A and B are shown apart, each in its own frame.
Chain A
């Protein structure tokens, strides 16, 4: 991708304030992988689609200072939205900060991340969610939407002040005790009901705690071999079934985090068939990796919920393809080296995901033909934006790429395969399970309301 100054002069590239006058032409770009066009981004919106290759420095109608980018062959997608990111700040800034995590997000094609609440202090008050939100604004790499804790201190005992978080500057709409399950059925029912008042959604980490006490990996043949305590599929499925019934009963919205088993896909399909407002996400790693990897005892493969079997992977791909699973969410979970460079049982669960998500989805869904690029746009941008309740004026057009929509887009070069290097990632942590693995595709540019956050594969 090369940038050339527009016919009327002015600076080429360089950061511009959101929605400011800087204009860009994406020459011969392929919206959703379709036929090439020239796309004009002006004043923070998609201003025009023109015939491919028709726009040059001397073309009519270009605002002063327009930069023309040769984007031939690149696929234009709406800016990706991640419903499930751990930014670790406040509390574990050694593992990740809002700045480093959102930098990784932009490089991965993301323009919005939902920051999970399991920080220290926990994001269970208006004060903490506003702090995270402001750190996101300051960093400027993408929009940060804090997730509020459902219960005080994630302790699962009493509701946090959900309303205060909803009406704070951070405008929290997604509430989750992620990392912990809201296992008390009555508390879960109340939370589901309560957030209806401000169109919130409870994002459940589905894990029956008694069935997973001490669990280290998927319960099955591999766990039997390795002598690691098993995390049974039923511990996830029992909670999903219960919560779907609760959501149906009280008419509330339920979102299921990181669905990992074939049985869970069946349950969500069933809940949707009932007409209940149940949505679900799957992580890239559950679409690609299996529990065979645990035989190395390398904790880089330790994650919660754990890696499952090839049959689960197949069911998750099918569920994402047919829309049973609404979206892909990374569960980006940075951990300091000392929390991973240990024996398996002592290691903390979690994997990096932001900079590899689109590549993994390309490998597992696009290349095998389960999803086209419009499908990818839906599962990685439009659906998560809808579930996350991004602010209403934008919601109808949010992350769309039609004329008039916000110029919030990402440009993917689908042709290269690259070997993932942990040290080359923007995260402060190194716990990627893909190190040394070759993945397809590379993000070349990301625009947030007309302002580039990434150009030529580098943070602006």
Chain B
């Protein structure tokens, strides 16, 4: 493994599989009666969140604690960052505190890459702007593998605001690395102009793609995109690209419905579909802890065997 996990684009197939295999072993820890390993005892993991994200922060926190690491939550909101303290100052502060790993969420694409040039510890990208969210993609792949037995050869359809989605980017690279064939579906306004250089098929027609999909991954669509003329109305978006019961019925029987959360029910996904047996939404959250344990374990070179 590299020292940092900044993106899935530069993650090798071997390293990706190592994370998934390690996560599998971590998942067994979660199922045991004592759900804690001593491997990162005495190590410090800092959750550095410049953007609110209770879900991701909590997931990393649980993961670090299950490995017995000390966890410091450094929430940028209300801290000195909002008083104009720079990212570099924050990095130096964390360095002085002796952080072994910094889990960074930031609204600016590339912020964790900058951080990585200023700290000695490992940096884990927990979502940077509209760039990447590598642990989300790893947990998605982990979920697919657990449910369907493999990732290689799966037809995965990613639907929604691909342009602004770090989840989509990380999934595109990782799934391609792991041998899945990916189709992205969105109104043309919500696809990046450079999407033709991605290892994906592009479609504007969700109905045509669903019957051929082993996995359909719905992305959150923010209502404020409407005001920037990305689409005319919420209802029109929902009609054309939302996953409702009728559409979900056209999926193959084994197909999964995934969502990285938080969902906008009634917009990109209907409540019925979100709560259906196909849906892995809750499972994804649980798997997130296992995958993040694996990532921290591998980056920090945790000692001792994982049973």
Point out residues on A near B: beta carbons under 8 Å. Answer: 216, 219-230, 232, 296-298, 338, 341-346
Q: Are A342's CB and B87's CB within 8 A?
A: yes
Residue on A with the closest CB to B114?
A: A343
CB-CB < 8 A to B193: which residues of A?
219-220, 223-224, 230, 232
Q: Are B192's CB and A342's CB within 8 A?
A: no
CB-CB < 8 A to A296: which residues of B?
113
Which among A227, A229, A232, A346 is the interface contact of B132 at CB below 8 angstroms?
Answer: A227
Which among B88, B130, B166, B198 is the interface contact of A342 at CB below 8 angstroms?
Answer: B88
| Contact indicator per residue, chain B 156-176, by CB within 8 Å of chain A (1) or not (0) | 000000000010010000000
Residue on B with the closest CB to A341?
A: B88
Q: Are B106's CB and A221's CB within 8 A?
A: no
CB-CB < 8 A to A220: which residues of B?
193-194
Q: Smallest Cβ distance from B102 to chain A, in angstroms?
A: 14
**B108 lies within 8 A of chain A by Cβ:** yes
Number of A-B contacts (CB under 8 A): 75
Q: Smallest Cβ distance from A228 to chain B, in angstroms?
A: 5
Q: How many residues of chain B are within 8 Å of chain A by beta carbon?
A: 26
Q: Are B194's CB and A219's CB within 8 A?
A: yes
A-B contact pairs, 13 of them (CB 8 A): A222-B194, A224-B192, A226-B131, A227-B109, A227-B166, A230-B193, A232-B193, A297-B111, A341-B86, A341-B88, A343-B106, A344-B108, A346-B108
CB-CB < 8 A to B111: which residues of A?
297, 343-344
**B249 lies within 8 A of chain A by Cβ:** no
CB-CB < 8 A to B113: which residues of A?
296-297
Q: Are B194's CB and A228's CB within 8 A?
A: no
| Contact indicator per residue, chain B 45-58, by CB within 8 Å of chain A (1) or not (0) | 00000000000000
Q: How far is the CA of A341 from the CA of B108 in the complex (A)?
A: 14
CB-CB < 8 A to A346: which residues of B?
87, 108
Q: Are A228's CB and B109's CB within 8 A?
A: yes
Q: How far is the CA of A227 from the CA of B191 in the complex (A)?
A: 11
Q: Smallest Cβ distance from A299 to chain B, in angstroms?
A: 8
CB-CB < 8 A to B109: which residues of A?
216, 226-228, 297, 344-345
B5-33 contacts to A (CB < 8 Å): 9
Q: Smallest Cβ distance from B195 to chain A, in angstroms?
A: 6
Q: Are A224's CB and B195's CB within 8 A?
A: yes
Q: How far is the CA of A225 from the CA of B110 in the complex (A)?
A: 11
Residue on A with the closest CB to B106?
A: A343
Q: Are B192's CB and A230's CB within 8 A?
A: yes
Q: Are B9's CB and A225's CB within 8 A?
A: yes
Residue on A with the closest CB to B118?
A: A341
Q: How far is the CA of A342 from the CA of B108 in the complex (A)?
A: 10
- 9 more A-B contacts (CB under 8 A) besides A224-B197, A228-B130, A342-B87? A224-B194, A227-B131, A230-B192, A232-B193, A298-B114, A343-B111, A344-B108, A344-B109, A345-B109
